[in-house]
Structure formats: C-alpha cells, structure tokens
Amino acid sequence: MSMFLIANVAAYMQARSMTRFAPAGVRTASPEQLALASKLRVLLTGVTVPRPVNDQTPADQGLSFATFCTQSSGGIDLELWHIAATPSSANKSRTMILLFHAYASSKEMMLPVARVLHDLGYDTLLVDFRGCGGSTGDETTVGYSEADDVMAATKFAREHFSPERIVLLGDSMGAAAVLRAASLDPKLADALIVDAPFDRLLSTVENRFTPMKFPSFPFARLIVFWGGTRQGYWAFAHNPADYAGKITCPVLHLHGENDPRVTLAQARGLFDRLAGSKAFVLFHGAGHASHVETDRALWTQSVRNFLGAVDGAIGNADRVDLR
C-alpha cells in the first residue's frame, strides 16, 4: 500500500470522526493533553467525539424558559430555548439576541452568556445546531450548513417574537456559522457578536497540528478535503475571512491573545476585512475559550457598550458609532 493511499485513508478516518458524532464514549482529549503514543494513534485512527447533550437547562441558572422547535435545511429539527427578559426590568430592551454554541457542544454552553444578557435586560434564544443537544442529526459541517441553522432560527425569532432588532452571537464554530449566514443575507441581523471565529477552515485545522508537534502538510489539507467531500461542499472555501467582506452590519469581535486555534494575526486579518462598523476586544492572556468565562467584567462591559450603541441606532444599525 503506497504512502499516498495510507495518508488518504488516515485523513478520511480523521475527517469522518470529526464530523460524525459518536453515539457514546469518552471524548478524545485536546492535543495539548495527549502523550506521543496517543497523538500517533489519534492521527491514524481519528478522534472520538460523542454526540453533545444538554445536561443543564436555564433553570439551573435560575432562569425561566420555554422550549421551541423549528426546521432547518435537510429536514433537521432544531431545538431552541427562549429566555424572556424580566418584564419589569428598567433596562428591558426590544432587542433579541440569538446564541450559537461552539463545535461539539450544545446550547447549554451558552447559559453563562444568557445569564449576563438577561441581567442586562435582553431576551435571548439559545439554539442547538444540527446533531447537537435536542436537535436532530448526528453530523456537523463545522459551521457551513450550520449557517442554515442560524438563518432558520433567525426566521423563527422574527415570526414568533417580533423583536425590533436581532443580534446574532456566536462562539467559535458558532461565530463562523453566524458570519457565513450574515454574508448570505445582509439583512439577516442588525448586529453580530463573534467570539473567537476561525478565519479559514484550513488554517484552524493546521493550527491543531502545532501542539501535536507534527507537520500539518499535507495531512491538514487532506482532512479538509475529505471532511468537505463527506458533507458535500468545497471546504477550502469555508472561510469567514472571505465572508467578512460581505457583512455591513455592526460587528463586535472578541478574541483571546494566546488563542492556539486561531492566532491573533488570523483574527486581526478577519476583523480588518469586515465591511461595516466594528470593534475588536482583546482578552489578554486568554486562549481559545468563551470569554464570558475568561474575564466576565471585560466581556460584560464590551457587550453592554456595543448593544447600547445598537439600541441607540434604531433604523440606522449600519451607522452605529463604535469609537
């Protein structure tokens, strides 16, 4: 068997294991935590990524909620949690914020975000992507088809809750899905908040080889090729940095200074290509994480100021001053 064939078989196994959730099992540790022998095994046979579930609900945060369902592309049913702002809240806004989780996660990971936003007076809608939590399916496209889920959830929010404004907030892969969706429909949302989005699918796959201490070429490219081929799209074109140029609504971009999955240079490159009003907030010393957990005070201040600017520009969201 030639080395070329071996490399392609291994890359296919890796891509399959990363995009099709396992029905059960223990999730493979991050590359930084693996011993050399384990790294080699994972490289050759793939990772184990169990189907994400919701072990908590908003009730665990002391929040009342309602569960809804809507349909996305491919007949996928999406489960949503709606958390209404307190009606008597003095700072209650008519803006609804939709929350989209990271890769191999579920909407429960967005509960800390929902808690802060509820305290700030905002309605939130937490969304399980396809294959995750209470939604149907067992596969992920790492943000590509998840953009359809973003659009379906946004349509549901407009039809059922009639908010004056909609803001989309995504974490990591969720941020990539939000950026793709907003590039496909410039009128989808009034503003975006993106936390640690990757700039290009290939570059974020390449970055995962750094802690493995293995060269990324050509294996990263083979993984991207087979991952996209399995899911029916050209994965080399799944690039939020390219989507950015089509996005004209205001964007708040949050990023960790020491993010190993998306370098600061890559994040800045994506940010620079955004076409509308924008603000970049750097979390010093932080890695790849939901930054409401990294520095809640900075996160809250940044998001409060951004949303205040959006709320103050009713009918003129494209003219939000973020200076």
How high is the mean pLDDT of the chain? Answer: 92
pLDDT, position 313: 66
Q: How confident is the model at residue 231 (pLDDT cuts 50, 70, 90)?
A: very high
What's the token pair of residue 148?
Answer: 């359809």
Q: How confident is the model at residue 323 (pLDDT cuts 50, 70, 90)?
A: low
Closest CA to 76 of 133, 120, 136: 136
**Phi, psi for 192 (deg, rounded to 5):** -130, 145
Sign of the torsion formed by the C-alpha atoms of 32, 38, 41 and 45: negative
Peptide bond into 218 cis (omega under 30): yes
3-state secondary structure the chain: CCHHHHHHHHHHHHHHHHHECECCCCCCCCHHHCCHHHHHHHHHHCCCCECCCCCCCHHHHCCCCEEEEEECHHHCEEEEEEECCCCCCCCCCCEEEEEECCCCCCHHHHHHHHHHHHHCCCEEEEECCCCCCCCCCCECCCCCCHHHHHHHHHHHHHHHHCCCEEEEEEECHHHHHHHHHHHHCCCCCCEEEEECCCCCHHHHHHHCCCCCCCCCCCHHHHHHHHHHHHHCCCHHHCCHHHHHHHCCCCEEEEEECCCCCCCHHHHHHHHHHCCCCEEEEEECCCCCCCHHHHCHHHHHHHHHHHHHHHHCCCCCHHHCCCC
Is the pLDDT score of 148 beyond 60? yes
| pTM of structure | 0.93
Q: Cβ distance 58 to 66 under 8 Å? A: no
Q: What is the pLDDT of residues 33-50, one digit of tens each?
A: 777 667 667 777 778 999
What's the token pair of residue 4?
Answer: 């070329």
Q: What is the chain's Cα-based Rg? A: 19
Which residues sit opposite 169 in a β-bridge?
99, 193
End-to-end CA distance of the chain: 60
Instruction: Give the separation between CA 140 and CA 142, rounded to whole angstroms.
Output: 6
Closest CA to 7 of 43, 47, 61, 52: 43
Q: What is the pLDDT of residues 120-132, one digit of tens each?
A: 999 999 999 999 9
- Tell me the longest C-alpha to C-alpha distance in the chain: 70
Q: What is the pLDDT of residues 62-107, one digit of tens each?
A: 999 999 999 999 999 999 999 999 876 556 679 999 999 999 999 9
pLDDT, position 1: 59
**Domains, in order of start, for the chain:** 1-50+201-237 (no CATH), 58-200+238-319 (3.40.50.1820)
**CA distances for 72 relative to 54, 232, 256, angstroms:** 20, 17, 32
Mean pLDDT over residues 287-301, rounded? 96
pLDDT, position 281: 98
Instruction: Give the separation between CA 216 and CA 287, rounded to whole angstroms.
Output: 21
